[in-house]
Amino acid sequence: MLDLNFVLKNKDLVQENLEIRNVKIDLDQLEQLADRRVNLLKSVEDIRKHLNQMADDIKHLGTQEQKKALIEKGQSLKQTLREQEKALAEVEKLLREELLKIPNLTHPNSPRGNTDEDNVEVKRVGEPQYFSFTPKNHLDLALALDIVDFEGGARTTGSKFYFLKNDGVALQLALIQFALEILSSEGFQLYSTPDLATLDIIEGIGFLPRGPESQIYRVEEENLGLIATAEITLGGLYAGQLINGKDLPLKLGGISHCFRREAGAYGKASKGLYRVHQFTKVEMFVFCLPEDSDKMLDYLVDLEVRIFSGLGLPLRVVDCCSGELGGPAYRKFDLEVWLPCEGRWGEVTSASNCTDYQARRLNIKFKDGPASKPQFVHTLNGTALADARTIVAILENFQQNDGSILVPKALQKWLGKERLSPKIS
């Protein structure tokens, strides 16, 4: 989140940022809450001082009647104090709730706009794939290959759940190994993370764990939710910690299942594996010095390009517009691959610089030396590879006229084959 004092001193800047991000927040109400908090803090402090002085006075009074009168007055003041402390707690809760809604500032070079059509292409590797035959969509190809079972997923769990099976499992594991091999060579610490996190950590990272627009599945009667990405658990790993500045940057790579309600999701790419409630992902997360976060974002984007170009997929990188940035993101780049059956680019990864927005919410700081003052770290995240959408891209781009799929060379050592062939009925 943004610092409260910064918001109050820069209301015009924050208001302008809200407008370019399409976020509506009443900053005047926030200021009123902040003023009320200051007044209540002063009132509570004054009452406590008065009570301390009365306690001292009681020790030096001569008569029991005087002591009794002062004690009765003290009891009345204590009741007032309890009421003021309760009011203060309520105001601080409301103030924090409003402050948490305010998104991060926006990088001056991020495009201004409201939808993905306003994103700006900044890089392309390879060209869109076109075929001499009529290409099939990934869902028809997957069913013919017998590598996915949506009907079984619906029976056991519900709509938009599925089973990967046969070569689909091998393909999933090969993709994960491929991504981990690259991250390991780049010095990332690798983790297999929990699939659950406390709601405080989820909120701290910037996901809304409550309300109709939440993407988070909550666990009934527990302060837990299923994670939507390992960004949540990797970021939460250092919540409340003071990091030695000499250890920065910390580069973490995490494997996890990801669960998303997809509340309000609709439109293009709603069928098959592209938009589902559960998938497996390899995530990158970085803690770094504030002055290094811009170049670390470029580094994560370059890694994503390296991974997907290494699979031989045509791709492009887009600079996301202000209206498409998530709350924590100061700047974000999406990597999109060509989906030939639909004739469009489809997002498969993203990378974001969140500056100190998440660190401030989770109280993650660094210190350079004994004499230095602790500062909030900067955090970044990027998807190395998400299995479901990557499988979609591989099936559609490497399909052959006979319905078989050429296995990317980078994956053949794990799959042990060069081609996936349809099952003969």
Taking only the tens place, the pLDDT of each residue in 19-71 is 999 999 999 999 999 999 999 999 999 988 888 887 776 666 666 776 677 77
**Prediction pTM value:** 0.91
Q: Average pLDDT over the chain, rounded to whole? A: 92
The owner of tokens 């910690």 is 241
User: How many Å separate Cα 89 from the centre of its chain?
Assistant: 28
Taking only the tens place, the pLDDT of each residue in 260-298 is 987 555 555 567 899 999 999 999 999 999 999 999 999
Say which range, 62-76, 82-96, 132-146, 408-422, has the weakest mean pLDDT. 62-76
Cβ atoms of 333 and 359 closer than 8 Å: no
Evaluate if residue 121 carries a pLDDT over 90.
Answer: yes
What confidence score (pLDDT) does residue 76 get? Answer: 84
- Exactly one of 260, 316, 331, 360 is catalytic; name it: 260
Taking only the tens place, the pLDDT of each residue in 167-188 is 999 999 999 999 999 999 999 9
The owner of tokens 């891209």 is 393
Q: State mean pLDDT over 94-121.
A: 94
Taking only the tens place, the pLDDT of each residue in 397-420 is 999 999 999 999 999 999 999 999
Q: State mean pLDDT over 118-140.
A: 93
Q: Is residue 127 classed as helix, strand or coil in its secondary structure?
A: coil
What confidence score (pLDDT) does residue 269 get? Answer: 57
- Exactly one of 110, 283, 389, 396 is catalytic; name it: 389
* Bigger pLDDT: 55 vs 76: 76
- Exactly one of 98, 256, 275, 361 is catalytic; name it: 275
Burial class of residue 236 in the structure, from the number of CB atoms within 10 Å of its CB (0-12 exposed, 13-18 middle, 19+ buried): buried
What confidence score (pLDDT) does residue 60 get? Answer: 66
What confidence score (pLDDT) does residue 372 get? Answer: 85
Cα→Cα distances 40→9, 45, 75, 282, Å: 21, 8, 19, 47
Percent of the chain with pLDDT over 90: 82
What confidence score (pLDDT) does residue 265 get? Answer: 52
* Bigger pLDDT: 98 vs 271: 98
Residue 350 appears among annotated catalytic residues:
yes
**Which phi and psi angles does 373 have, rounded to 5°?**
-90, 135
User: Alpha-carbon distance 418 to 405, whole Å?
Assistant: 9
Domains, the chain, ranges and CATH? 4-101 (1.10.287.40), 116-420 (3.30.930.10)
Residue 347 appears among annotated catalytic residues:
yes
* Bigger pLDDT: 370 vs 407: 407
Q: State mean pLDDT over 321-336.
A: 96
User: Alpha-carbon distance 315 to 406, whole Å?
Assistant: 18
What confidence score (pLDDT) does residue 129 get? Answer: 82
Cβ atoms of 321 and 120 closer than 8 Å: yes
Q: State mean pLDDT over 67-95.
A: 86
Taking only the tens place, the pLDDT of each residue in 203-233 is 999 997 676 667 899 999 999 999 999 999 9
For the chain, state the CA radius of gyration. Answer: 27
- Exactly one of 110, 256, 293, 350 is catalytic; name it: 350
DSSP string, 370-402: TTSPPEEPEEEEEEEEEHHHHHHHHHHHSB-TT
Q: State mean pLDDT over 335-359.
A: 95
- Exactly one of 283, 304, 347, 396 is catalytic; name it: 347
Say which range, 28-37, 237-246, 262-271, 359-368, has the weakest mean pLDDT. 262-271
DSSP string, 29-89: HHHHHHHHHHHHHHHHHHHHHHHHHHHHHHHH-SSHHHHHHHHHHHHHHHHHHHHHHHHHH
Say which range, 161-175, 180-194, 367-381, 383-397, has the weakest mean pLDDT. 367-381
